[in-house]
């Protein structure tokens, strides 16, 4: 038997799964299947598998667990999403007691569910990740789970439960659990309590109260009746007219009261109604008196404030004494005001403005006037600017001639009409600018100039050296 498993690689991790059917000791291949082993160890550290049942048992094939919901449709990985399969060529499902990852019948859909083989299962090789093997006599605990009674859906009638997972050897020292096992238990307990409280609330809401029972202690029994409460209006009842309001219905209209109790309190009700009517009449009279008094007082207050304002203006000098009776004078005045008279006089004295205001002249007349004025202006410009050498008429003569034409006051400043716009063009300057703008630069000529200047500098330097040497020889 030992020769069959020589090709399997060595394990580097170890755990013990404590179940209600006994412990299961498992060694893990962390080097060959690092994702699957790290996922199982991290979830075990978080207490994810605590209380999880073996929800599926297939005799002679596998037992499956790892779903917190117990339905076989749940579970999540430590990575937050399904992780990839890790198929190793030296790991095969060739015997019982091997631990593999369950998926959704598709590749790379591993989450938290796992299974143990009860026999050789070659059909699982290269389809599921094989990451652990059972060692020691704990294999018999797995076989006892495989002998459980099951229903038609391969669910055990009394499913074994995982109490916890102990990590004996951890090949990954960098695993940081998202939550501790104690915190997860506290969360689960809180969920259970919240669910119970919600169920109790639903039960209380569904419970029906019998409000038709009235208890009067030792008095005679009164039949069960349904009580209807009349809603009161939001208006003030003391300001309503008794004639407009309908009489309130007695309590007997809403509650079936025995005949012995119907006549109780009738006299007190009548007295209260009479008193309410008298009080209502007195309240209305008082309201009218207050309303009349308030209007009179308001008018008096307005007049007093106007007098105070007028005196204040006189004191500050903003308004003279004559302004106080300005309103009375404006009422006594008849006929057009001074402003209206001045406007009428202005419109009469201005010929064109008056004509335009009265609309007596048409559009054609306005155009004729415009052409006449333009012709006059053209003649004035022609007279003001004669050719050189001719005698120019004086400004006074032009003004007299203009007065003779239209008898209107004109401006005698006509010197601006004699100016002419002249430009002085410098041909030499234009030529120089054109040469500068369109000059052609020859790089060879520039190089020649640089070479010539360098040659001259060297020659002058040699001459200076000779003169200094000559001076030294003379000494």
Residues with active-site annotation: 56, 61, 64, 103, 115, 124, 128
- Take residue 438 and report the two structure tokens written for it: 């369109």
The DSSP bridge partners found for residue 162 are 19
Of the CA atoms within 13 Å of residue 195, those in its CB half-sphere come to 6
What is the rounded distance in angstroms from the CA atom of residue 83 to the CA atom of residue 112? 10
**Number of other CB atoms surrounding residue 364 within 10 Å:** 8
- Take residue 427 and report the two structure tokens written for it: 């041909």
**What 3-state class would DSSP assign to 166?**
strand
CA distances from 201 to 172, 204, 447 (A): 47, 5, 104
Which of left, alpha, beta for 315 (phi over 0: left; psi -120 to 50: alpha)?
alpha
Angle between helices 395-406 and 363-384 (to 10 degrees): 160
What is the rounded distance in angstroms from the CA atom of residue 35 to the CA atom of residue 112? 12
What is the rounded distance in angstroms from the CA atom of residue 317 to the CA atom of residue 313? 6
CB 149 within 8 A of CB 157: yes
- Take residue 45 and report the two structure tokens written for it: 């550290």
DSSP secondary structure letters along 84-106: -----TT----SSSEEEE--SSS
């Amino acid at each position: 038997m030992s020769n069959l498993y020589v090709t399997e690689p060595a394990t580097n991790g170890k755990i013990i799964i404590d179940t209600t059917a006994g412990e299961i000791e498992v060694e893990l291949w962390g080097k060959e299947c690092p994702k699957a082993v790290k996922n199982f160890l991290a979830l075990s550290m978080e207490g994810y598998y605590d209380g999880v049942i073996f929800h599926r048992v297939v005799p002679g094939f596998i037992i499956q667990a790892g779903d917190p919901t117990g339905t076989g449709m749940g579970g999540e990985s430590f990575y937050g999403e399904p992780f990839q399969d890790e198929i190793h060529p030296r790991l095969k499902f060739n015997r019982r007691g091997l631990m593999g990852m369950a998926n959704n019948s598709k590749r790379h859909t591993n989450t938290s569910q796992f299974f143990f083989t009860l026999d050789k299962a070659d059909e699982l090789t290269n389809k599921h990740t094989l990451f652990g093997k059972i060692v020691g006599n704990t294999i018999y605990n797995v076989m006892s789970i495989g002998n459980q009674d099951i229903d038609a859906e391969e669910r055990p009638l009394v499913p074994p439960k995982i109490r916890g997972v102990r990590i004996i050897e951890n090949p990954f020292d960098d695993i940081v659990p998202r939550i501790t096992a104690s915190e997860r238990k506290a969360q689960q307990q809180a969920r259970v309590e919240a669910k119970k409280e919600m169920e109790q609330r639903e039960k209380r809401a569904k419970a029906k109260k019998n409000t038709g029972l009235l208890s009067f202690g030792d008095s005679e029994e009164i039949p069960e009746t349904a009580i209807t409460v009349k809603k009161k209006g939001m208006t003030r009842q003391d300001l309503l007219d008794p004639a407009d309001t309908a009489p309130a219905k007695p309590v007997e209209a809403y509650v079936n009261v025995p005949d012995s109790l119907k006549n109780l309190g009738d006299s007190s009700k009548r007295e209260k109604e009479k008193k309410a009517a008298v009080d209502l009449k007195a309240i209305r009279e008082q309201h009218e008196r207050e309303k009349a008094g308030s209007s009179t007082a308001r008018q008096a207050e307005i007049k007093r404030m106007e007098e105070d304002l007028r005196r204040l203006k006189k004191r500050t000098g903003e308004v003279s004494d004559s302004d106080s009776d300005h309103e009375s004078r404006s009422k006594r005045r008849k006929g057009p005001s001074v402003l209206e008279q001045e406007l009428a006089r202005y419109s009469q004295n201005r010929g064109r403005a008056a004509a335009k205001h009265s609309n007596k002249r048409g559009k054609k007349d306005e155009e004729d006037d415009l052409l006449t004025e333009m012709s006059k202006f053209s003649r004035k410009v022609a007279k003001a600017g004669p050719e050189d050498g001719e005698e120019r008429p004086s400004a006074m003569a032009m003004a007299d001639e203009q007065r003779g034409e239209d008898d209107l006051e004109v401006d005698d400043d006509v010197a601006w009409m004699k100016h002419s716009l002249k430009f002085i063009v410098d041909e030499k300057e234009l030529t120089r600018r054109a040469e500068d703008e369109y000059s052609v630069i020859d790089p060879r000529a520039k190089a020649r100039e640089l070479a010539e200047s360098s040659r001259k500098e060297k020659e002058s330097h040699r001459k200076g050296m000779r003169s200094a040497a000559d001076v030294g020889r003379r000494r």
